[in-house]
Amino acid sequence: MYINENSKVIVQGITGKQGMFHTQIMLNYGTKIVAGVTPGKGGQEVYGVPVFNNVKEAIQETSADTSIVFVPARFTLSAAMESLNAGINMTCIITENVPVFDMIQLVEKAKEKGLFLIGPNCPGMLIPDKIKLGIMPSDMCHYGDVSVISKSGTLSYEITKAIGNSGIGVSAYVGIGGDPVRGITMQEAVAYYSEDPNTKIIVLIGEIGRNEEEKTAELIKNNVSKPVIAYIAGKSAPEGKRMGHAGAIISGDVGTAKGKIKALKDVGVLIANTPWEVPHVIKEIL
């Protein structure tokens, strides 16, 4: 399981500006933050959360199983590797500008150990009314049975908020990020939520660049029986120009919004033409 309301969370970088800010918000949401980690600052407290010098110490004292990383990019490799080596089930990397080679090492380590890694440069994960592991708005929606899986951050907030405003509940929000090399992919998240008993409908928010949506379409064709709805951003993007994420660049015929939409449509995915259409398409299914 990725995360649930019983997940015990460590904040790596809790004494930094961003770590402190988001720790308070996550605590207010109800997230069980049991420890913080900042090397050299063990023994301190942040909002009543004990700080340890390393992840291993934090686990020994708190039995933590989840980590969220708020350290600068140059320290992310060592922080996330420490989390993975300590056996943390889910490591969520919020940090942006993490070097690609660093992420290659982290993704390989996560696979080697059979652990979950999400990010970098992502908003994190949310199970509404239960746990917030990330930086997304706290008031987007309430709990329900629609999972939202997105490469985009801000756009996914708008769409998820629109879903919530329509009276539709969300079983999970997963912001996987859009960097070229990252942890959980869209295919992996779709495979996971296709088996989730609390999810009845899957919403995908994709964007131009690379072929992840096309690969996800192949997965859906043979393995997913639940209804899937998708919105693909970047229909007007010019070829060769990066739009937003490092991975959002069109090269020739690969990675175009048109190609992604066709691949998804061909396997029965319902396509929303605008972000605000997504709740209407959901209601047509419900």
Helix (H, G, I), strand (E, B) or coil at 107: helix
Q: Return d(Cα 224, Cα 269) in angstroms, integer.
A: 10
Q: Return d(Cα 175, Cα 137) in angstroms, integer.
A: 12
Cβ contact 12:95 at 8 Å: no
Instruction: At 261, list the tokens.
Output: 């939409």
Q: Is 142 a catalytic residue?
A: no
- 1 C-beta neighbours (distance < 10 Å), count: 11
Q: Out of 22, 142, 245, 280, which one is annotated catalytic?
A: 245
Cβ contact 284:277 at 8 Å: no
- E strands, the chain, are 9-12, 33-37, 45-46, 49-52, 66-69, 90-93, 116-118, 124-127, 131-134, 143-150, 170-175, 201-207, 228-233, 270-271
Instruction: At 218, list the tokens.
Output: 């192949």
Residues that are catalytic: 245
